[in-house]
Chain A
Amino acid sequence: MTALTTRAASVPLTGWIGMALIALNLFLFLFGPMLAPYGQEEIVGVPFDVPQPGHPLGFDQNGRDMLSRLLYGARTSIGISLAAVCLSFAIGVPLGILAAIRGGWMDLVLSRLVDTVMSIPVLISALVVLQALGSSLPVLIVTIACLDSTRVFRLARLVAQGINVMEYAEVARLRGEGLIWMIRREILPNVMPPLVAEFGMRFCFTFLFVAGLSFLGLGVQPPFADWGGMVRDNQQGILYGLYAPLFPAAAIALVTIGVNLTVDWMLSGRTTVQGDNR
């Protein structure tokens, strides 16, 4: 308990801001659509009309309430990224740990495959797949998860390899523990800290990526409101000096800033402590 309180006291301001932003966005993800005063497809005003009472952020290019669409978009944008990152960890972590423990041909084949996929920029690979399959929510989630799981695999394999040669892992193996025990009791607890930090960074990347694809018109398709697509739809407004496309873009930026600040604090806290102890 004391450790926890000293830890809380040492969190820098940026760390608190980051966590507050994450909490806010989680709240929007869970309850956003319920808070929206209007429907996401409901036309209630004049296109690109300025903010006014009842419509604090004004209207979008079709005369829909900007605030309502932002609240609906929270669920789509954050939900897709969360689903994709969870799936990519579900693929990457077990395979990475398995490759590290088993070694041999399985490690070789998986690692070469991952290296090859990683030798193409993610955006380009994703565009190639979307060209073939068209863009729908399941395709989007599975494609991004598969492409992203290569990075997760690499990290999980690297960390697990380091742990697999530790004395306690050696002892467990000599005790005759099976594969399941090795993964659950020896490897997983020890790979958690780096993987949690990685989860934050991967989420950040995926979130920007989904929003970017939607911005290009290749991600989330109408009628779903999503932040990247909203930037695209309202982009023309900027030429008339309107803030309309900046609202969804700022929403995207707030999520990534929040996650980045938190991850940065978690990682930097660790390295400085190690440096000071030396």
Chain B
Amino acid sequence: MLTLIAKRAVLGVFTLWLVSVLVFAGTEILPGDVAGAILGQSATPESLARLRAELGLDVPALQRYAEWLTGFVQGDMGRSMASGQPVADLLWPRFWNTMALAAYAGAIAVPLAVGLGITAAALRGGIFDRVSNVAALAFVSLPEYFLGLLLVLWLSVKTGWLPSLADTYDGMGLAAWFRATTLPMLVLVMVTTAQILRMTRTTVLGVMDQPYVETAFLKGLRNGRVVLRHATPNAAAPIVNVVSFNIAYLITGVVLVEAVFNYNGLGRFMVDAVSRRDLPLVQAAAMIFGGVYVFLNMVADIAAIALNPRLRHPRGKEA
């Protein structure tokens, strides 16, 4: 099993490298002209050439890639084109803001959703199952900003309970932080809970159709016991996958939510950088998002290996 995990980790690092190639290729080899975009109408051939040299765009792409990657690995992400500040200084505080929001939402959504999903599967076809199914479908279908705007209207504008914008700043108290981020957290919780609930239910139901579950029922065991002791442990690995898939979604779904609530996170940061076409910022933000995504997928796979008894105790070669 350890070799399997080690293999998966190596694959993760390799994927990360591929991501860096794609990000670099996407930003620098596509036929967009950064210098032209910056200068706009006032571009002359001379000023374009000067700016390209200044930005280091006259160096061959492969060499630029090597320099960019070595810098990145050492924590040097270059400087913003717009402000000239080091990208790392701008990026990390926002990264932690986004992580804090995602963690806040995830800590509530994951246990809630898995619990509700297993309950819905146990009570298949009952009122609870149907209601939770329809509600989940509705929440999955609604765009984040629709939910966000509704919450702002009801919980902020009409009642004044919570602030409509998620203003956070350095040194604000913990209570104030929770108060400011509750609305965006609620939106994220609604959307991810719905997703995880639906997928958990399907996964557990898939296990419920297995012969050994039928045997357990025929032994005369009660429904709740079969679900909790026979079905759920075998559904654990797929559920872990579902959860990590949705946490990965949380990380990007956060982009839209941050825009709704004007939260100072990595998503809004990246969107601003894209609209200003600030190349180093976009590259760095894309790498961080991609890295988190790859990392979460890797953790999920490793957890699935660790949770799968057949992989934990391999029988000879075939495992």
A contacts, CB < 8 Å to B: 14, 116-117, 119-125, 127-134, 204, 208, 211-212, 215-218, 231, 235, 238-241, 243, 245-246, 249-250, 252-253, 256-257, 260-261, 264, 275, 278
B51: interface (CB < 8 Å): no
Given contacts A116-B15, A127-B274, A131-B282, contact A252 B153 (CB under 8 A): no
A216 nearest in chain B by CB position = B271
Chain A contact surface mostly? helix
Q: Are A239 and B149 in contact (CB under 8 A)?
A: no
B275: interface (CB < 8 Å): yes
Q: Are B30 and A211 in contact (CB under 8 A)?
A: no
Question: Which chain A residues border B209 with CB–CB below 8 Å?
Answer: 275, 278
Question: Which chain B residues border A256 with CB–CB below 8 Å?
Answer: 141-143
CB distance from B289 to the nearest CB of A (A): 5
Question: Which chain B residues border A240 with CB–CB below 8 Å?
Answer: 157
- List 21 contacting pairs A-B, 8 Å CB cutoff, sorted by A: A116-B18, A116-B19, A119-B293, A120-B22, A120-B289, A121-B290, A122-B252, A124-B270, A127-B274, A128-B23, A128-B282, A217-B275, A235-B145, A235-B149, A238-B157, A241-B158, A243-B153, A245-B149, A246-B146, A253-B142, A260-B140
Given contacts A119-B297, A216-B271, contact A253 B158 (CB under 8 A): no
Q: Are B26 and A125 in contact (CB under 8 A)?
A: yes
B37: interface (CB < 8 Å): yes
CB distance from B111 to the nearest CB of A (A): 24
Q: How many inter-chain residue pairs (CB < 8 Å) link A and B?
A: 142
CA of A216 to CA of B252, assembled, Å: 13
Residue with the greatest number of chain A CB neighbours at <10 A, chosen from B140, B146, B286, B293 = B146
Given contacts A14-B134, A216-B255, A257-B141, contact A250 B293 (CB under 8 A): no
In addition to A256-B141, A260-B137, 16 A-B residue pairs with Cβ atoms within 8 Å of each other are A14-B134, A119-B297, A124-B252, A127-B271, A127-B286, A128-B282, A131-B274, A131-B277, A131-B279, A132-B31, A212-B143, A212-B145, A215-B145, A215-B256, A231-B149, A260-B141
B29 nearest in chain A by CB position = A132
B294: interface (CB < 8 Å): yes
Q: Are A131 and B140 in contact (CB under 8 A)?
A: no
Q: Are B143 and A253 in contact (CB under 8 A)?
A: yes
- Chain B interface bracket (under 10, 10 to 19, 20 to 34, 35 or more): 35 or more
CB distance from B76 to the nearest CB of A (A): 20
CA of A253 to CA of B140, assembled, Å: 10
Q: Are B271 and A217 in contact (CB under 8 A)?
A: yes
CA of A250 to CA of B271, assembled, Å: 24
Question: Which chain A residues border B157 with CB–CB below 8 Å?
Answer: 238-241
Given contacts A116-B22, A133-B32, A218-B271, contact A124 B289 (CB under 8 A): yes
B290 nearest in chain A by CB position = A120
CB distance from A98 to the nearest CB of B (A): 23
Of A117, A119, A216, A250, the contact of B146 (CB 8 Å cutoff)? A250
B302: interface (CB < 8 Å): no
Question: Which chain B residues border A129 with CB–CB below 8 Å?
Answer: 26, 30
Question: Which chain B residues border A131 with CB–CB below 8 Å?
Answer: 27, 32, 273-274, 277, 279, 282
